[in-house]
Amino acid sequence: MEYSVKKIVEEGEKILKKKGVLNSRSEASLIVQKTLNVSKIDILTNNIRSVSFLKRMSINKNFCERVRGKPISKIFGIKEFYSYEFFTNSNVLDPRPESETLVDVAKKILRKTKSTINILELGVGSGCIIISIIQELSELRIKGTGIDISESSLKVAKKNKKKFNILNLHLLRSNWFSNLKNKYDMIVSNPPYLKTSDIEFLDDEVKKYDPLVSLDGGKNGLNAYNEIAANVKKHLKLGGVICLEIGFGQRNYVNRIFEKEGFELILEEKDLQDIPRVVVYKLK
């Protein structure tokens, strides 16, 4: 029996919809597209007349994975961020659209700079943030450093560094600033900022497939901000800035933490949902 792509997508949509998966049509289409390794246009125009039995088995296996709650990015090991495709797995936080605001802000600030720029990312994860900044500002002389406490995360970042051929990015293991000696013009970070008590209420695709260390910000969700604010001064050059992603409702709390350490808020940016998402500080 001949199975067309259209028929397989329709069957997949029914399976996903029955299990309560949102956007079941687009997700079914994406699973088929990625399993067959074809373009979105091929799927939309039904250019592929038939699909082999083995390929259908692979597609069904991926539908089952999705039904069990595994996100598409973790099924295929790829996630789009800032129009680039990054390697990802269960050892790193999935790149999220809100974090693109952090890249936007960094670009806005750095485009005013002419000389060589030294950037540090705390908690580099997949490397999507610092690599996107370097890619977007290829006309500038940027030297990047990315640190992470997890060696498994660094392996993913190194894969992405190689994929994008980023020569000017140094990756090393460090618990926040513990293995760092240099000073930087800009420090960026999307630290863990969820309250420990909120973790159990997360969707399974986050709770089961993103690393806890990248999510859990402690009792009040502010542990990482306290750690960064207390130790960042000696790693910022004169006039240097620190750009941070923050969670919903955290703006005032984070401001107080950094003001107490002698910093002033110089810029804040909202995400596409009009939620304060990025704050930028410099020493007074």
The pLDDT of residue 115 is above 90: no
- pLDDT confidence of residue 267: 97
The pLDDT of residue 148 is above 70: yes
Residue range 33-61, pLDDT digits in tens:
999 988 888 787 776 667 888 989 999 99
Residue range 61-79, pLDDT digits in tens:
999 999 999 999 999 999 9
Q: How far apart are the first and last CA of the chain?
A: 72
- Report whether 121 contacts 130 (CB < 8 A): yes
79-283 classified as CATH 3.40.50.150: yes
Neighbouring CB atoms inside 10 A of 92's CB total 29
Residue 97 main-chain phi, psi, to 5 deg: -55, -35
The pLDDT of residue 2 is above 80: no
Of the chain, the percentage scoring pLDDT greater than 90 comes to: 84
Interval 204-221 mean pLDDT = 94
Sign for the CA dihedral angle at 247, 249, 251, 254 comes to negative
H or E segment and range at residue 60: helix 53-67
Interval 68-94 mean pLDDT = 95
- pLDDT confidence of residue 22: 87
Residue range 149-162, pLDDT digits in tens:
999 999 999 999 99
Average pLDDT of the residues of the chain: 94
Residue range 237-256, pLDDT digits in tens:
999 999 999 999 999 999 99
Q: What angle do CA 227, 233, 236 make, to 5 degrees?
A: 120
Neighbouring CB atoms inside 10 A of 267's CB total 14
The pLDDT of residue 268 is above 60: yes
- pLDDT confidence of residue 97: 93
The pLDDT of residue 1 is above 60: no
Mention every residue, 6+ apart, whose C-beta is less than 8 A from residue 23. none
The predicted model scores a pTM of: 0.93
Pairing of strands 78-81, 142-148: unpaired
Token digits of residue 166 = 């980023």
Any idea of the CA torsion for 105, 106, 107, 109, to the nearest 10 degrees?
Answer: 90
pLDDT: is 114 or 29 the higher one?
Answer: 29
The pLDDT of residue 191 is above 70: yes
Residue range 11-34, pLDDT digits in tens:
999 999 998 888 999 999 999 999
Interval 179-202 mean pLDDT = 96
104 confidence band (pLDDT: 50, 70, 90) = very high
- Report whether 31 contacts 8 (CB < 8 A): no
